[in-house]
Structure 1
Amino acid sequence: MWRFKGDDLAAARALVDAALESGITLFDTADIYGPDNGEGFGASERLLGRVFAADRGLRDRMVLATKGGIVIGTPYDSSADYLQFAIDASLSRLGVDHVDLWQIHRPDILTHPQEIARTLEDAHKAGKIGAVGVSNFTVAQIEALTHFLPMPLATTQPEFSALTLAPIVSGELDVAMRMDMAVMAWSPLGGGRIADPHSERERAVVAALRRVAERYGVSVTAAALSWIMAHPARPIPIVGSQTPARIRESADAYKVRWTRAEWYAVLTASREEPLP
C-alpha cells in the first residue's frame, strides 16, 4: 500500500479487488505512507478506511497490517507514549477497532526494548493489535525485543530481492526460521531495477531470472517474486504495484518451480562472484 493514494474511491477499490481476486490477502500499509506521494501523513490508511466504509464486509476478507514509529523530522520514536498514540491514530484512520498485525517501522535506538515490549503487550491485551512485528531491524535488535516480549514476534520485514541479499548475509532469514517469524520482503523487485536493469550486474541477474520465466511462460517480475519465495524461510514479497493488471500478474509467481542450480545461478549473478 506504499503508493496507495488519491481521491478516486472506485480506483482504490479496484486495486483491492484485484489483489483479493488473485488470492492475495495480506495488505500492508503504514501511517507514514502519504508524504512520499505528495499527500499528508496517514493518507494511505485514510484512503483504505474509506474503502472499508463503503463495504463493511471487505475488512474481514484480508489480513490487515500497518506500521508506525516514523516521525517526520525526528525521525524515529518508539516510546510508550508515541506508540500508544500511533496505534490509536492508525485505527481511527482505517476505521477499524483492531489490526491483525502491527509493526514497528524503523528501530528507535533511544527506546529500551523492554519499554517497547510493554507497550505492544498492552495494545495486544486491549485487542487493538492481533500480532506484533518489526521492520528494518537488525538481528540483534530482533533478539533483544524478543527477549522482553511475552508473545512471539510474528514478522520481520527487511528489504530483500534478487538484487538485495542483505537478509541472507546478515542471518536474518535464519533467525526468522529459528523463531518461526514470517518474512515480509519489501522492494522485492529491487526498486524497479529488475524491470528496468541498467548495470552489468542487474542485467546478469535479470538474464538468469528470464531463463526460468520463459520456461514457465511468466514475466521476469513474477520469476523474481518466486525466487524470493523459494527460500525455506518462505518470504512473502510485498507487491507495491498500483496497477490492477500487474497485481494480478504477480500471482503468476506461484506457477514457477526452481531447481537448485537455477536458484543459485541468480544468487551467483547477484553476488558477482562464484560461491565457495
Structure 2
Amino acid sequence: MWRFHGVSVPQARSLIDAAFGAGITLFDTADIYGFNGSEGFGDAETLLGQVFSETPGLRSKMVLATKGGIIPGVPYNSSAEYLSQALDASLSRLQVEHVDLWQIHRPDILTHPDEIARALQDMVTTGKVGAVGVSNFTQAQIAALRAALDIPLVSSQPEFSPLHLDPVLNGEFDDAVQNGMAILAWSPLGGGRIASPSNEREQAVAQALDQVASQFDVSRAVAAFSWVAAHPARPIPIVGSQTAQRIGELADLAKVEWTRSAWYSVMQASMGKPLP
C-alpha cells in the first residue's frame, strides 16, 4: 500500500475489493507510505482508516500489517520511546485498536537490540499488536534481535524479485525456514524493470518469465509473482499496483506450476551466468 493515497475513499475501497476478489487477505502498509519527500507522512494509513470508518466489518476480513521506525531527515529511530509513539500514531490514523503484524521498517544501528526487544514485547503484551517482525534487516541484525526477544520474530520483509536475488544467496531465506519466519517480499517486479526491461540482463529475465507466462496463459507480472512464491521459504509477494484490473490478475497465480528447469532458468538469466 505504499502508493495507496491521493484518491477518494470509494476509489480506495475498490482497490481493496479487487484484492479480496483475487484472494488477497494480507494488507501491508507503513507510517511513511504516502510521504513524497516533503509532506504526506501517514497518508496511506489515514486513507485506509477512512475506508474502515465508512465500511464497518471490513477490518476483520484482513490481516493488517504496518511498519514504523523511519523519520524523514533522521532517518531511523528504534528507541523504545519512539517505537511506542509510532505505533500509537499508526493506530490512530488507521482508526483501529490492534494490528495483526507490526514491523520495524529499517534497522536503527544506534539502538541496542535489548531496547528494541522490550518495545516490541510491550506492543504485544498491551494487545496493540498481534505479532512482530522486521523489514530490511540483515541476517545478523535479525539474529541479534531474535536472541533478545522472549516472543517470536514472525516475519522479515526484504527486497526480492527475479532481478534481486540477495535473500536467496545470503542465507536469509534459509534462516527464515529454520526459524519459521514468514517472508514478505517487496518490489517483486524489480521496481517496474520486469515490466519494462531496459538492458540485456533485464530482457533475458523477461524472456525467461515470458516462456512460463505463455505456457500458462498469464501475464509476465503474474509469472514473476509466482516465481517469487515458488521458493520453499514461501515468500509472499507484496503487490504495489493501484489498478483494480492488475490487482485482480493475482487470482491467476495458482495457474502457474514451476519446473526446476524453468525456475532456475530465470535465476541464471538474472545472474548472467550458469550455475556451477
TM-score range, shorter chain: over 0.9
SS of the counterpart of 1:218?
Answer: coil
- Unpaired runs of 5+ in structure 1? none
Give unmatched runs, 5+ long, in structure 2. none
Q: Secondary structure at the match of 1:5?
A: coil
Q: What is the TM-score normalised by the length of structure 1?
A: 0.99
* 1:121-143 alpha-carbon deviations (Å, 9 max, x no partner): 01100000000000000000000
Aligned to 1:205: 205
Q: Is the 8 A contact 1:5 1:37 kept in 2?
A: no
Instruction: Name the residue aligned to 2:2.
Output: 2
- For residues 122 and 14 of structure 2, what CA distance do their matches in structure 1 show? 36
- Tell me which moved more, 250-259 or 30-39: 30-39
Provide the C-alpha distance between the structure 2 equivalents of 1:37 and 1:109, rounded to a whole number of angstroms. 23
2:142 equivalent to 1:142: yes
Q: Give distance in 2, aligned partners of 1:160 and 1:169.
A: 11
Counterpart of 2:242? 242
> C-alpha distance in 2, partners of 1:118/1:223?
41
Give the Å deviation of 1:38: 7.1
Task: Identify the residue that residue 111 of structure 1 maps to in structure 2.
Answer: 111
Distance (whole Å) between structure 2 residues aligned to residue 214 and residue 21 of structure 1: 24
Q: Which residue of 2 aligns with 1:174?
A: 174
Structure 2 counterpart of 1:127? 127
CA contact (8 A) 1:68 1:105 kept: yes
TM-score (norm 2): 0.99
Summarize deviations over 1:172-197 as a string: whole Å, max 9, x none. Answer: 00000001000000000000000000
After superposing the two structures, state which structure 1 stretch, 175-184 or 29-38, moved more: 29-38
Structure 2: distance between partners of 1:7 and 1:197: 29
| Partner of residue 53, structure 2 | 53
Write the distance in 2 (CA, Å) between the matches of 1:181 and 1:235.
10
Give, in whole Å, the separation in 1 of the partners of 2:77 and 2:245.
Answer: 37
Secondary structure of the structure 1 residue equivalent to 2:67: strand
Q: How big is the shift at 1:90?
A: 0.3
- Give the superposition deviation at 1:254: 1.7
- 1:250: how far off? 2.1
The one-letter code sitting in structure 2 at the alignment partner of 1:101 is L
Q: Distance in 2 between matches of 1:178 and 1:36?
A: 38
Is 1:25 the counterpart of 2:25? The answer is: yes
Paired AA for residue 6 in structure 1: G
Alignment RMSD = 0.9
Percent identity, please: 64
